[in-house]
Chain A
C-alpha cells in the first residue's frame, strides 16, 4: 500500500510538474500570428507548386496579408475564383488571372530524330543534356526522357508512345514547374486561348537545321511577312508569336498555310496532331 501511494504520488508529481511548465511556456513563448493568414491559406489550392513565386501556399498567404504590395492574383492554379476570394479577404482590388498552359515546343520525338549518339545512362533529361548537349542532333530539341513528366504534380504532362511529352490542357494549371525543370527550356507557358504557336525551339540557321529535322523552324521569315497584324517576329532564326496581339486581332491565321515546314501550327488542334504523330 505504501509503495502504491509512492508510485501514484511520483507519477502525479512528474505529470503536474510538466503540465504546469507547459502551460506557463505556452503563455510566455506564444508567437502572435494574424488569424487572417490561416483564412487566406484555407482558400488557396494548397498544391505547394510555387507558381506565385513564394515558397508554398503558407508563404504566399503570409505575404499577401502582411505586405500591401503583394498582388492577390498571383495564384495561377487557383484561377479567377481564388484570386477574387483572396482579394476580398485582404481588401485589395481584384485583378484578372491570365490562365496559361504549358506548351512543349518540339515536334520531332527522340525515337525518330537523328541522333549524335545512343544514350545509355540515368533516365533524366538534365543528365543526358550534360553530355554534349544531349543525344539529339538538334541541340535545342526535346530529349524525351521525361524530367518534365516527373515534375508535374497534377499529372497534366505525359509522354506519348513516340517519346514527346504531351500537355493535357484541362489538367494543366499553369504553375510552370515543368518549364523550369526542362534543361533545354523547350517548354513555354502560353495563354490557353492562343490561336497559333511555333512548335520549334531551334535557333540554328535554316541550312543547318534542315539537315536533321523536317519539321523545324528554318527562320525563313515567311510567316512574319505574311502576317497582316505584325504579330510574328524573328529572333535568331526562330519565329516568335506575340500571343496578345495575335489573339486580339486575328480571326483567320494566314501564317499556318505559308510555313514551308509546318513549324507553326494551330494551337487548338495541336494536341491531336502530336498524339497522332509518327
Chain B
C-alpha cells in the first residue's frame, strides 16, 4: 500500500513530467495562458494518460512480449494511443456533451504528444505491474495538471506586468518555467 502511495507522490512531485522530466512542453506553454483552459487541459491529459497507459500495458504484456517483438513497442504504442484518443473523443462527445464542450478540443491536441507516449514507455522500462502502471499514470497526469495550473496562475499575472518588449509572451514564460523547475528540483532524491 505504501508502495503505491510513494509511487503516486513520486509521480506528482518528485518526478513531475513537465518540470523534472521536461516532457509535454508544447502543451505546457501553449495552453497555460488561461487558468480555466489549463484546468480543463490537465483533466483531459490525466484521463488520456491513465486510460491509454492501461491499454498499452495490456498490449505489451499479451501481444508484444509473447511474440518476442518488444522492439515494436514505440510504434505500436503510437498507433494505440492515436486510435484510443479518437475513440475517447467519440465516446465523450456522445455521452457527456458538457464535458466535451469543456475539454473536447484539447483531446486532439494531445493525441500523440510526447508526454502521453512517454508515460507507457517509462512504465515498460521500469517494469511496473498493471496496478503500479495505473497509479503511476494517474499520478503523472495529476502532476502535469498541477504544473499547468501553477504556470497559468503566474502567466495571468505576467500579462499585466511591465515586461521588456523583447521578452514578452514566450520569453518571460520560459524564464518563469525555469524558475518553477528549479524549485521542483528541490524535491529530487526524496523518493527513490
Contacts and interface: CB of A to CB of B under 8 A. Distances in A.
Interface string A24-67: 01100111000000000000000000000000000000000000
Interface stretch (A10-18, A129-137, A229-237, A255-263): A10-18
A21 interface: yes
B90 interface: yes
For the complex, would chain A's binding face be called helix, strand, loop or mixed by DSSP majority? helix
B69 interface: yes
Interface residues of A, number: 20
Contacts of B162: 123
B161 A122 contact: yes
Interface in A109-133: 122-124, 127
Interface stretch (B36-44, B74-82, B112-120, B180-188): B74-82
Contacts of A31: 93-94, 97
A119 to B, nearest CB: 13
A6 interface: yes
Contacts of A3: 69
A90 to B, nearest CB: 22
Interface string B157-191: 00011100000000000000000000000000000
Contact of B80 (A14, A26, A122, A123): A14
B98 interface: no
Interface in A179-206: none
B132 to A, nearest CB: 24
Contacts of A245: none
For the complex, would chain B's binding face be called helix, strand, loop or mixed by DSSP majority? helix
A3 B70 CA distance: 12
A11 B74 CA distance: 12
Contacts of A26: 90
B57 to A, nearest CB: 15
A11 to B, nearest CB: 7
A18 B83 contact: yes
Contacts of A11: 72, 75-76
Given A11-B75, A14-B76, A127 B63 contact: no
Given A31-B94, A127-B160, A21 B63 contact: no
Nearest to B94: A29
Interface in B73-125: 75-76, 79-80, 83, 86-87, 90-91, 93-94, 97
A122 B75 CA distance: 49
Contact of B91 (A7, A19, A29, A122): A29
A58 to B, nearest CB: 10
A254 interface: no
A11 B59 CA distance: 12
A56 B67 CA distance: 52
A153 to B, nearest CB: 15
A25 B80 contact: no
A70 interface: no
A122 B156 CA distance: 12
A22 interface: yes
Interface centre among A6, A10, A19 (most CB of B within 10 A): A10
Given A122-B160, A123-B160, A123-B162, A21 B87 contact: yes
A6 B69 CA distance: 8
Interface string A197-217: 000000000000000000000
Contact of B69 (A10, A18, A122): A10
Contacts of A122: 160-161
A124 B76 CA distance: 51
Given A21-B83, A25-B91, A123-B161, 15 more contacts: A6-B67, A7-B69, A7-B72, A10-B64, A10-B69, A11-B72, A14-B59, A15-B79, A18-B79, A18-B80, A21-B87, A22-B86, A29-B93, A122-B160, A127-B160
Interface of B: 59, 63-64, 67, 69, 72, 75-76, 79-80, 83, 86-87, 90-91, 93-94, 97, 160-162
Interface of A: 3, 6-7, 10-11, 14-15, 18-19, 21-22, 25-26, 29-31, 122-124, 127
The 7 closest A-B pairs by CB, nearest first: A18-B83, A29-B90, A29-B94, A122-B160, A124-B160, A25-B90, A25-B87
